[in-house]
Structure 1
Amino acid sequence: MSDPSNVMILKEIAELLNEETELESMLQDALEKFLNGTDFYAGWIFFIEENGKHSLVAHNHLPKAFLENNCHFMKVGGCWCVNRFKTGSLKKASNIIECKRIVDALNQKHEGTGGLTHHATVPLQSGNEHFGLLNVATPGQREFEEQELALLESVAFQIGSAIKRIQLTKKEQEIALMQEKNRLARDLHDAVNQLLFSITLTARGGAEMSDTKEVKETFNGLQSLAQEALTEMRALIWQLRPRGLEGGITATVKGYGDLLGLDVSIEIKGVVSLPSKVEETIFRICQEALTNCKRHAQTQKVFIYIESYSNKIDLLIRDFGCGFHAQHIRSLPSVGINSMQERATLLGGSFKVDSTPGKGTTIYVTLPY
C-alpha cells in the first residue's frame, strides 16, 4: 500500500462518512469501502456498551465458518481485544497474536475459515468517548506492518468522529421531537381540553335548569359525551407528555391508571435502574395496555408485574376482564397490540398476548438491556 493510495482511501471514506445519516449503514458502507481499497480482506465492527456487552454491528468478507448460526463465533464469549477494550488498556491499533474467536472456529471447523488465523484491532473513539472496535484480517497473514496499522488507526479515527456526529444529530432530533410534543400537549391542554371542560359544565347547568324531561336527557347525554371526550383528550396529552416518569415507572403508570379510572396494582422485583429508552418503552406498553383495558376489558382491575435481571426485564400486564379469542389477533389485528409489539421488537425484545373469553387478558413482554 503506497502513501498516495492511503490518502485516496482516507479521502473516499471521509466523503462517505460525511454523507451518511444512519449509523449501521454508515458502518457497513465504510467497512466495505475500506476493505475494497486496501490489502485488508475481512473486517468486523463491535459496539461495546458500558456494562461490557458487545454486539456485532457490521462485517464484510467473513468466511463461511464465521457466518454460520447467525455469526455465532463473533457474537458470543469474550476475547482478548474486547477484554482489553473493557479495561481501557487498548489505546491504538494493535496486532492480535491469537484471537479466541478464530481459534474456536478453527478448532470446530476443518474448512470454511478462509485461511484467517490472526487479526488487527483498533478502538473506535471520539475524544474521551469509546464506542467499540474495528477488526481486520487477511488470509495467511499473522502480523500487519506499522504502515498498515497507522492507516487502520486513521480510518478508526474518522469512523469514531462520524459515530459521535450521528449520535449528536439523533439526540438533537429527539430533543426537537420532545419539544414539539410538549408544545402540542400544551396547546391541547390550553385550548381543546379547556373547551371540553366548559362544554361539560354548560351541559350540566342546562340539565339542572331545564324542567323538560327530553331536554334534561339531551343535556345529560351531551355532558356524558363531553366528559368521555375530555378523558380521551387527557389520555392523549399523557401520550404526548407523560407526567411523573422522572419519579419512576410505578408512579407514572399508576397515575395514568388513575386518569382512566382504573385500579392498578404494581409489583416490582429486583433493582430497576434502566436506560431511558427501556424505561419509556415499558411505560408506553403499559399505557397502551391500560387504554385497551379501559375501552374493551369491562373491568377496572389491572395487575402489573415487573422483574429485573442482570441483562433483561420481564413485564406482565394482566386484567381481570371479559377477555377475547387470542387466536383472532392475526386475522383481526389490533392497532394497540401491534403498537406494543413493535415497541418491544424495536428494542430486540419479545411480546406475547394470552386471552380467553371470560377470563381476562395477560400480556408478556421481555426486553433486553
Structure 2
Amino acid sequence: MTNNHSNIAILKEIAELLNEETEMIPMLNGALSKFLSGTKFETGWIFFIDEKGKSELVVKQNLPDALSYNDCQHLKRGGCWCVSRFRNDELKKASNIIECQRIEGAIEANDGDHNDITHHATVPLQSGQERFGILNVASRNTVRFTDEELDLLESVAFQMGSAIKRIYLTNEQQEIALVQERNRLARDLHDSVNQLLFSVTLTARAGIEMTEQEELKETFKDIQQLTQEALTEMRALIWQLRPKGLESGLIEAIKVYAEMMNLQLSVNVAGVIQLPSRVEETLFRIAQEALNNVRKHSGVTQVQIFINITATDVLLVVKDAGQGFNVDAIDDIPSIGIQSIKDRSQAVGGTADWVSEIGKGTELLVRLPY
C-alpha cells in the first residue's frame, strides 16, 4: 500500500472535502473518488441501509462492466454477506469478504468483463451508535487486503460516517426552520388577512340590513358570498401551512380537512400506518390537494379515500363520481393542483396517476415507497 505520510495526506484531503460539501451524494462521490485515486483500491460502492434492513446503492466508482451491467443489477440483487452482517449488527470494523455472492453471480452471468475483480473489503459507515450503511472497495487480483489497508479504509469510513451524521443534522435543522417559518406565515395570515376578510363579511351583512334598495342588497349579498368563499380558502391555506390535525394522526387530519372543505368523506385503511414523518406529511399534502380538486372541479361533495400500507410502500386512492376530465390531455391542463401532486410524489420517489373520463368521475392513484 502507500506509506504513512501519503496515508495522512489522503485522509487530510478527504476530510477537507467532507467538511466543505453540503449535499450527501456529491460528498460521498467526491470522498470515494479521492480515496480511490490516492490508494491501490481501484473500485468502490456504497450502500445505505435503513432500519428495516432495506439496502440502496447510492454511490459507485470505477465499476467493471460486469458489475455496472443493467444499472448494477448484480450488485443490487441476491444474497450479500456484508449487508447481512450489517443488518445483524455483526459488522463492526473493516473486513475482508472471502466470498461475495453478488460478484460471483456477475462473473457467472458473463455480462461483461469483471476486470479480475473477484473479492472486496467492507466497512460500516457509522457515527457513534448511529449506523448508515457500508462502504465496499476492491482491486484487481486481490483476495485479501492487508491490515494496513483495512486500517486506512476504516479511517476513511469513520470520516464519512461523521460527515453523513452532520448532513442529517443540518437537514433536520432546516426542516425545523421550515416548520417555524410555516407557523409564522400561518399566524400572520390569520392575524391580518383572515381578520380583514371577516370584517368585510360583517360590513356586507350590515349593508344588506341597512339599505332598502334591492340592487344594493344584491351587491352586498354578492360581496358577502365572495368574502365567505375567500375566508374558506384562507382557512384551508392556514391549515395547509400548519396542519395541527396531523398530530392526532394522518386519518384524523384528512377527515378534519375534508370537513373544512364541506366534503362528505369515507376512508378505508388496510395495514398499519407507521410511516416516516416525511412520507406521512407528503401523503397528507397530496390528500389535501386532491380534496381541493374534488371541491373545485368535480361538481360533487362526496369523496372516497383508500389507503393501503404494505411492507415497502403505501398506496393512496382518492375517488369521486364527479364530472371527470380527459386524462390524455392532463399535461395540457393548467392545474397547479395536479402538478403539485406530481411533484410531491416524485420528491419521495413515488408516482401519481389519474384514471378519469368525462362524466364518469376521477380516481387518483398515488404510490409512495418508504
| Matching residue of 1:124 | 125
| Matching residue of 2:286 | 285
**Displacement, 1:325?**
0.8
Which ranges in structure 1 are unaligned for 5 or more consecutive residues? Answer: none
Write the letter of the residue equivalent to 2:105. Answer: D
Q: Does 1:355 align with 2:321?
A: no
Separation (CA, whole Å) in 2 of partners of 1:333 and 1:112: 50
Q: Does 1:337 align with 2:338?
A: yes
| Matching residue of 1:178 | 179
**Displacement, 1:76?**
2.1
User: Taking every aligned residue pair, what percent have the same amino acid on both sides?
Assistant: 56
| Matching residue of 1:146 | 147
| Matching residue of 1:161 | 162
SS at 2:318's partner residue? Answer: strand
SS at 2:244's partner residue? Answer: coil
Separation (CA, whole Å) in 1 of partners of 2:228 and 2:355: 32
Write the letter of the residue equivalent to 1:44. Answer: W
Cα 1:110–1:290 change in 2 (3 A) is closer
SS at 2:365's partner residue? Answer: strand
SS at 1:285's partner residue? Answer: helix
Runs (4 or more) in structure 1 with deviation over 4 Å come to: none
**Displacement, 1:77?**
2.9
Separation (CA, whole Å) in 1 of partners of 2:111 and 2:246: 54
1:315-337 per-position Cα deviation (integer Å, ceiling 9, x unaligned): 11111111111111122342211
| Matching residue of 2:106 | 105
1:7-50 per-position Cα deviation (integer Å, ceiling 9, x unaligned): 11101000100110000111111111110111100000000000
Separation (CA, whole Å) in 2 of partners of 1:286 and 1:68: 39
Once structures 1 and 2 are overlaid, which stretch shifts more, 200-209 or 89-98? 200-209
SS at 2:360's partner residue? Answer: coil
**Displacement, 1:169?**
0.5
Write the letter of the residue equivalent to 2:150. Answer: L
Separation (CA, whole Å) in 2 of partners of 1:110 and 1:33: 28
Separation (CA, whole Å) in 2 of partners of 1:228 and 1:220: 12
Separation (CA, whole Å) in 2 of partners of 1:108 and 1:325: 46
Separation (CA, whole Å) in 1 of partners of 2:236 and 2:360: 26
**Displacement, 1:78?**
3.1
Using the size of structure 1 for normalisation, the TM-score is: 0.98
Aligned ranges 1:1-369 → 2 under 5 Å: 1-109=2-110, 111-369=112-370
Cα 1:11–1:54 change in 2 (3 A) is same
Cα 1:262–1:15 change in 2 (3 A) is same
Write the letter of the residue equivalent to 1:221. Answer: D
SS at 1:316's partner residue? Answer: strand
Write the letter of the residue equivalent to 2:25. Answer: E
Which ranges in structure 2 are unaligned for 5 or more consecutive residues? Answer: none
1:268-297 per-position Cα deviation (integer Å, ceiling 9, x unaligned): 011111111111111111111111111111
SS at 2:226's partner residue? Answer: helix
2:96·2:121 contact (CA, 8 Å) conserved in 1?
Answer: yes
- How many residues are treated as equivalent by the alignment? 369
SS at 1:142's partner residue? Answer: coil
* CA RMSD in angstroms, aligned pairs only: 1.0
Separation (CA, whole Å) in 1 of partners of 2:115 and 2:313: 36
2:323·2:359 contact (CA, 8 Å) conserved in 1?
Answer: yes
SS at 1:68's partner residue? Answer: helix
2:295·2:301 contact (CA, 8 Å) conserved in 1?
Answer: yes
Cα 1:246–1:98 change in 2 (3 A) is same
**Displacement, 1:300?**
0.5
Separation (CA, whole Å) in 2 of partners of 1:188 and 1:77: 54
Separation (CA, whole Å) in 1 of partners of 2:326 and 2:93: 59
Separation (CA, whole Å) in 1 of partners of 2:242 and 2:166: 27
Separation (CA, whole Å) in 2 of partners of 1:149 and 1:17: 20
SS at 1:257's partner residue? Answer: helix
Separation (CA, whole Å) in 2 of partners of 1:130 and 1:166: 14
Separation (CA, whole Å) in 2 of partners of 1:27 and 1:78: 25
**Displacement, 1:206?**
1.3
Once structures 1 and 2 are overlaid, which stretch shifts more, 92-101 or 243-252? 243-252
Write the letter of the residue equivalent to 1:123. Answer: P
Cα 1:202–1:110 change in 2 (3 A) is closer
Cα 1:111–1:329 change in 2 (3 A) is closer
1:162-205 per-position Cα deviation (integer Å, ceiling 9, x unaligned): 00001101100110010010011011112211111111122112
Once structures 1 and 2 are overlaid, which stretch shifts more, 173-182 or 236-245? 236-245
**Displacement, 1:213?**
0.2
